[in-house]
Amino acid sequence: MQLEEKISFDFTGLLAESVKIHGHLCAGQVLGVRMSMLGLREIGITDPKGSDRKNVIIFVEMDRCATDAVQSVTGCSLGKRSMKFMDYGKMAATFLNLKTGKAMRIIAREDSRQKAKEHFPESDNKYAGQLEAYKIMTEEDLFEVMEVRVAIRPEDMPGRPLRRVRCEACGEHVQDMREVYRDGKPLCVSCAGGGYYVVESSEFKVQSSKIL
Ligand SMILES: [Zn+2]
Ligand SMILES: [Zn+2]
């Protein structure tokens, strides 16, 4: 394919690095590294951890092994706000070039599992065979590529928080415009009813809010 012509990534080196960060070698690492190489190339990014480090944002649709590989190869992370976790449960990620606006969504093909089996039919360890197959299969066999448009909100961009407000119910502070307004009053997501936790007890509580 034309990939090696313009932008060449060192697959073996990148895989070794991602295995080190992730903690083990698995099919997800191979898939994630290859997905990242393809995604970066599609948006014209050559040096994601160097000169291009401020030009890439990735939306990952899975929190699985491959996600760590994407982080390792691209240098994008939640903490840098250059990786956005979209909880879709899909083996897919969108690579966005902030400079050009070009965004490509890379989806792992479901039929690649079957194709992988055909590569190593005699392998008694199905999983090991799949892993090896993912290393040598063509990108066309592994992925689907989709050009998409992504509107990234100012409050989702890397950089200093645009706003910081205090929740009127719990008194905790909310940044990056994640507050919800009820009757004109700012509430955190949890107090607005969208929380993932229920408070059992609390210690070291900051000065309590006047409201509750
Ligand atoms: Zn893994
Ligand atoms: Zn609150």
More confident residue, 60 or 120: 60
CA of 193 to the centre of ligand 1 (A): 35
Q: What is the mean pLDDT of residues 187-203?
A: 92
CA of 156 to the centre of ligand 2 (A): 21
Give the whole-angstrom CA distance, residue 3 versus residue 7: 6
3-state secondary structure of 126: helix
Angle of helix 65-74 versus helix 27-42 axis, rounded to 10: 40
CA of 1 to the centre of ligand 2 (A): 53
Q: What is the pLDDT of residues 81-138, one digit of tens each?
A: 999 999 999 999 999 999 999 999 999 999 999 999 888 877 778 788 999 999 999 9
Mean pLDDT for the chain overall: 92
CA of 151 to the centre of ligand 2 (A): 28
What's the burial of 16, exposed, middle or buried (CB within 10 Å: 0-12/13-18/19+)? Answer: middle
Q: What is the mean pLDDT of residues 170-187?
A: 96
Q: What is the pLDDT of residues 144-171, one digit of tens each?
A: 999 999 999 999 999 999 999 999 999 9
Give the whole-angstrom CA distance, residue 162 versus residue 157: 10
**Backbone phi, then psi, for 165, in 5-degree steps?**
-130, 160
Instruction: Grade residue 1 by pLDDT with cuts at 50, 70 and 90.
Output: very low
CA of 83 to the centre of ligand 2 (A): 26
Supply the DSSP string of 6-75, one letter for each residue. Answer: H----HHHHHHHHHHHHSS--HHHHHHHHHHHHHHHHTT-S-TTTTTTTSEEEEE---SHHHHHHHHHH-
CA of 178 to the centre of ligand 2 (A): 11
Q: How far is CA 45 from CA 65, 78, 132, 141, 150, in A?
A: 23, 19, 27, 23, 17
Give the whole-angstrom CA distance, residue 57 versus residue 150: 10
More confident residue, 165 or 8: 165
Give the whole-angstrom CA distance, residue 139 versus residue 31: 10
Q: What is the pLDDT of residue 94?
A: 98
Instruction: Grade residue 66 by pLDDT with cuts at 50, 70 and 90.
Output: very high
Q: Which segment of 23-27, 126-130, 139-143, 196-200 scores lowest on mean pLDDT?
A: 126-130
